């Protein structure tokens, strides 16, 4: 069930500080052993690459981990997305309430978030800019986060317990020199909702969605995640 959006995704991204805020210390004590056990069971005790795959329509965030980009990924588990805004389709303007769709990177961790803990995505990226020629980057919006709490406009909220797990996993991976990538699709490819969404999309949207479908299907089939490049039309292709 969709949860009505209650608050804007407005955050201050804190610089690295020491010591850590109490909420992170508490989260590590609470969730750290659980994460370690899950990684040990998955056979990936020290992940160097994390992939978060989000299906907007289904309201699910999947966690995939690997010992390195060239190693196979393991599906570690799922978290429900507990609120949403907008609908199918990529974000195109500041204030449109849309959750972006595409391939992103986590570029910053915010332990001081007003929504407990948060992770910033690199929206708008090269593909977003390519799909909107002539539009200045600031007009495309920004400040897109995966965060705690269960209220949002344009971000991806997981609730406080789940964000602690995802945040700590991302922190561990980045501290080891690894990367956290995020794949966001309007729905799960092959599902009835996916077919309906693609059937009424604009040519530009369909081009984007088909490229994301290829990447998502490849992950399911091979458990591999290649390097991705943006195309001139704003779609994506494996390097």
Q: What three-state secondary structure class fits 162?
A: helix
Of 116, 147, 150, 223, the catalytic one is 147
155 is catalytic: yes
Closest CA to 89 of 200, 165, 238: 200
CB 9 within 8 A of CB 154: yes
Rounded Cα distance, 68 and 78, in Å: 21
79 is catalytic: no
Rounded Cα distance, 188 and 212, in Å: 10
Beta-carbon-side half-sphere exposure of residue 227 (alpha carbons within 13 Å): 3
Farthest CA pair distance, the chain: 51
Active site residues: 147, 155
């Amino acid at each position: 069930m969709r949860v009505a959006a209650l608050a804007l995704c407005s955050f201050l991204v804190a610089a690295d500080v020491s010591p850590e805020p109490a909420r992170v210390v508490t989260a590590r004590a609470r969730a750290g052993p659980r994460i370690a056990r899950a990684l040990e069971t998955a056979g990936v005790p020290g992940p160097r690459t994390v992939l978060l795959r989000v299906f907007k329509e289904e309201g699910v965030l999947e966690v995939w981990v690997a010992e390195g980009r060239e190693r196979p990924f393991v599906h570690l588990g799922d978290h429900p997305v507990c609120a949403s805004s907008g609908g199918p389709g990529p974000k195109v303007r500041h204030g449109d309430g849309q959750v972006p769709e595409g391939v992103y990177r986590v570029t910053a961790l915010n332990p001081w978030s007003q929504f407990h803990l948060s992770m910033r995505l690199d929206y708008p990226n090269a593909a977003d800019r390519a799909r909107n020629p002539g539009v200045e980057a600031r007009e495309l919006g920004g400040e897109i986060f995966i965060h705690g709490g269960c209220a949002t406009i344009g971000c991806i909220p997981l609730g406080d317990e789940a964000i602690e797990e995802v945040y700590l996993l991302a922190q561990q991976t980045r501290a080891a020199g690894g990367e956290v990538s995020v794949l966001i699709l309007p729905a799960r490819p092959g599902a009835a909702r996916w077919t309906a969404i693609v059937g009424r999309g604009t040519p530009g949207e369909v081009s984007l969605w088909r490229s994301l479908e290829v990447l998502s299907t490849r992950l399911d089939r091979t458990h591999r995640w290649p390097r991705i490049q943006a195309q001139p039309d704003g779609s994506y292709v494996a390097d």
